[in-house]
Amino acid sequence: MPCQLGSEIKQDFPILSTVLPNGKKLVYLDNAATTQKPIFVIDSITNFYRSQNANVARSAHYLGEQTTIAYNEARKTVAKFINASYDEVIFTSGTTESINTIAYGWGDNNVNENDEIVVMTSEHHSDFVPWQQLAFRKNAKFKVVPLREDGTLDIDTVRKYVTSRTKVVACARMTNSFGVINPVEKIGKIAHENGAVFVVDGAQSVPSMPTDVKELDADFLSFSGHKMLAPMGIGVLYVKKSMIDSLKPFLTGGGMIDEVKNEYTTFAACAPDRYEAGTPNVEGAIGLARAIEYLEEIGMENVLEHERKLLEYAYLKLKHVDRVILYGPKRLNDRGGILSFNVKGIHPHDVASILDANGVAIRSGHHCAQPILRSLNVEFMATARASFYIYNDNSDIDALADAIEDAKRRFS
Amino acid sequence: MSDLSDLYAEVIMDHQRHPRNFGKLESFDREVKMTNSSCGDQISLQVKLEDGKIKDLKFTGMGCAISMASASVMTEVVKGLSVQDAKKISEEFIKMITDGKAPEDDLEDARVFSGVYKYPMRVKCATLAWHALQKVIE
């Protein structure tokens, strides 16, 4: 179980000792794309298949019961982690499926012609496209709140965009492009004052900071397991209890029904069953629960503090480096551990390839967030992005800075 | 993963620093614009055709070194060729990058991109201009 964050905790993550074919040691700084998994989580998945595997909530035998207990326990762990109730937590394949579940299951029945849907320019495509498509389906107005130059939101601008015609306001708590922490409590208040539903994308924030759905007062919250030490293919949709009745099942089939006849089907009376059609990702749910236990032992405040320390170290180290452009707000307290940057005259894909040859793994491109990059006129409409997590330390950032110098030398 | 010489061969670096046939034609018969949605590389390609041959072509665009160098090399390789030969060469180039298949024809400088095959994330960068060529002469 966890010891000191940074260098010591690395031993819990087997993949971090990878040596690349060219002999360089792996320096993993692509955590906003996906995090690595501790042995504690990896073992929980293999143990599930070694000793528990059966279908869940169907099979009345020893293994079926073991699986069902483990799956239900996983849901309890998730609920407690975000201060929700058991029946407010729906397992999905990830944030994208969670948001589509809201857009189709709630949006199609509650948004009408000339209603408004408000999103921020900084949303990830997964919190942008489903809302835009909903607006197209319903002839609703799709309104995109502009940003300040540093990628932050001005709360007065948000206030101007949300009106009595607004049915939904969707916003990420932490943006994946620049790592900006948005004032979601204030935005939620504006949404609710106007009678709109408030939808929070927690894909980047839930892994990196404490989350309390009561404090956020979100009607819906989505997040993914794979960005917080858990496997890919598991995610969560939190639905506030008062919203459950207005959410129609998006996926139908086995496991979510009450009675099926030739003439009609009635759905399971209560959440979460009604919203989980088909055999669920039990190994993913178990892996997510173990990941949460691991993170809780560290403490989510400590995760954020560690990310901020790394961000500050990287920011100060790169701030005055020739040809390096840093994006995002200068006030680091408004940010999580994400640093988007460019090197003048080098396309970020080339930066990423040269960093890779130095063992340093980062993301490059538009980060599934084209609207923000377009609106801020970012060169190449793409950036390089280093993102930090619990197992990173200052030496990883030193390696990043050295590799950037190598890129500059090659593209002089 | 290597020491990068596969990806950033000297010829490639030379073309990205000094792209050939970069700009707009005064008159042209066809034009296509293409983007590589995964990276955001963009290219606009104009051709002037005469007697079934590519008489002239120029490109403009924005993107990584691989995509821009590939476009530059492509224009040099196919300029003056018959449309038919250009199609054949573009198919061979794309196969070389996507399947690692050695080309039958002499691809001239375009051969230096064969190493991109080992970098699946960069395949679309290297093939963008060639797909644009196929579209503009189809």
For A370, the closest chain B residue by CA position comes to B40
For B9, the closest chain A residue by CA position comes to A410
Of A248 and B40, the one with more pLDDT: A248
Which residues of chain A does B63 touch, with a Cβ-Cβ cutoff of 8 Å? 347, 349, 380
Residue from the list A20, A21, A410 with its beta carbon closest to the beta carbon of B8: A410
Q: Count each helix (H run) and each strand (E run) in chain A, helices first.
A: 13, 15
Decide if B90 is inside a domain: yes
Residue B75 has pLDDT above 70, yes or no: yes
Decide if B3 is inside a domain: no
**What are the tens digits of pLDDT across the range A107-117?**
999 999 999 99
Residue B38 has pLDDT above 80, yes or no: no
Q: What is the dihedral of CA A391, A393, A395, A398, to 10 degrees?
A: 110
Decide if B126 is inside a domain: yes
Residue A1 has pLDDT above 50, yes or no: no
Backbone angles phi, psi at A161, to 5 degrees: -80, -25
What percent of chain A has pLDDT above 70? 99
Which residues of chain B does A356 touch, with a Cβ-Cβ cutoff of 8 Å? 1
Site from A19, A347, A411 to mutate, B interface, most B CB atoms within 10 angstroms = A347
CATH of A43-296, picked from 3.10.20.600, 3.30.390.30, 3.40.640.10, 3.40.1390.10, is 3.40.640.10
ipTM above 0.85, yes or no: yes
Average pLDDT, chain A: 96
With tokens 């995964």, the residue in question is B38
CA distance A382 to A404: 16
**What are the tens digits of pLDDT across the range A58-97?**
888 999 999 999 999 999 999 999 999 999 999 999 999 9
Residue A3 has pLDDT above 60, yes or no: no
Which band of pLDDT confidence, cut at 50, 70 and 90, is reported for residue A41?
Answer: very high
Which band of pLDDT confidence, cut at 50, 70 and 90, is reported for residue A40?
Answer: very high
Q: Among the residues of A54-167, which ranges form H helices?
A: 62-81, 95-102, 108-110, 129-138, 155-161
Q: How far is CA A277 from CA A35, A60, A101, A253, in A?
A: 28, 19, 12, 5
* pLDDT given at position A332: 96
Which band of pLDDT confidence, cut at 50, 70 and 90, is reported for residue B103?
Answer: confident
User: For A111-115, A317-321, B52-56, B115-119, which range has the lowest pLDDT when averaged over its residues?
Assistant: B115-119
- Tell me the residue range of the domain where B119 lies: 10-137
The whole-number average pLDDT for the span A333-345 is 96
Q: Hey, are the CB atoms on B1 and A356 less than 8 Å from each other?
A: yes
Residue A106 has pLDDT above 60, yes or no: yes
The whole-number average pLDDT for the span A219-239 is 98
Entry field: residues in chain A:
412
Which band of pLDDT confidence, cut at 50, 70 and 90, is reported for residue B33?
Answer: very high
Q: Is-contact A171 A199, C-beta < 8 A?
A: yes
CA distance A163 to A258: 39
Of B108 and A191, the one with more pLDDT: A191
CA distance A136 to A370: 19
Residue B2 has pLDDT above 70, yes or no: no
Which residues of chain A does B7 touch, with a Cβ-Cβ cutoff of 8 Å? 353
Start-end of CATH 3.90.1150.10 domains in chain A? 8-30+300-410
Decide if B5 is inside a domain: no
Is A368 an active-site residue? Answer: yes
Q: Hey, are the CB atoms on B65 and A365 less than 8 Å from each other?
A: no
Catalytic residue among A3, A171, A270, A368: A368
Which residues of chain A does B125 touch, with a Cβ-Cβ cutoff of 8 Å? 349
Q: What is the pTM of this model?
A: 0.93
Structure tokens given for A314: 């990287």
Q: Residues A411, B1, B4, CA angle at the centre, nearest 5°?
A: 30
Q: Is-contact B66 A354, C-beta < 8 A?
A: no
Decide if B76 is inside a domain: yes
Q: Hey, are the CB atoms on A22 and B2 less than 8 Å from each other?
A: yes
Decide if B30 is inside a domain: yes
Residue B37 has pLDDT above 80, yes or no: no
**What are the tens digits of pLDDT across the range A267-317?**
998 899 999 999 999 999 999 999 999 999 999 999 999 999 999 999 999
Among chain B, residues having any CB pair with chain A shorter than 8 Å are: 1-4, 7-8, 13, 38-40, 62-66, 119, 122, 125
Give the gap in angstroms from C-alpha B127 to the nearest C-alpha of chain A: 15
Q: Hey, are the CB atoms on A349 and B64 less than 8 Å from each other?
A: yes
Residue from the list A356, A357, A382 with its beta carbon closest to the beta carbon of B40: A382
Surface-to-core class of residue A263, CB atoms within 10 Å of its CB (0-12 exposed, 13-18 middle, 19+ buried) = exposed
Q: Hey, are the CB atoms on B1 and A21 less than 8 Å from each other?
A: yes
Start-end of CATH 3.40.640.10 domains in chain A? 43-296
Residue from the list A357, A370, A380 with its beta carbon closest to the beta carbon of B62: A380
User: For A171-180, A224-233, B91-100, which range has the lowest pLDDT when averaged over its residues?
Assistant: B91-100
Site from A26, A30, A343, A353 to mutate, B interface, most B CB atoms within 10 angstroms = A353
Residue A388 has pLDDT above 80, yes or no: yes
Decide if B1 is inside a domain: no
- CATH domain A8-30+300-410 topology: Aspartate Aminotransferase, domain 1 (3.90.1150)
User: For A139-153, A182-196, B97-111, which range has the lowest pLDDT when averaged over its residues?
Assistant: B97-111
Structure tokens given for B46: 């104009």
Instruction: Give the contacts of A290 (CB within 8 A, at least 6 positions apart).
Output: A40, A41, A44, A230
**Which of A208, A224, A202 minimizes the C-alpha distance to A390?**
A208
Backbone angles phi, psi at B24, to 5 degrees: -115, 145
CA distance A56 to A54: 6
Hey, is A205 helix, strand or coil? coil
The whole-number average pLDDT for the span A22-50 is 97
Q: Hey, are the CB atoms on B64 and A347 less than 8 Å from each other?
A: yes
Best mean pLDDT range from A289-303, A377-391, B26-40: A289-303
Structural domain count of chain B: 1
Decide if B14 is inside a domain: yes
Q: Hey, are the CB atoms on A353 and B1 less than 8 Å from each other?
A: no
Q: Tell me, what CATH number does B51's domain have?
A: 3.90.1010.10
The whole-number average pLDDT for the span A152-178 is 98
* pLDDT given at position A2: 47
With tokens 């059966």, the residue in question is A54
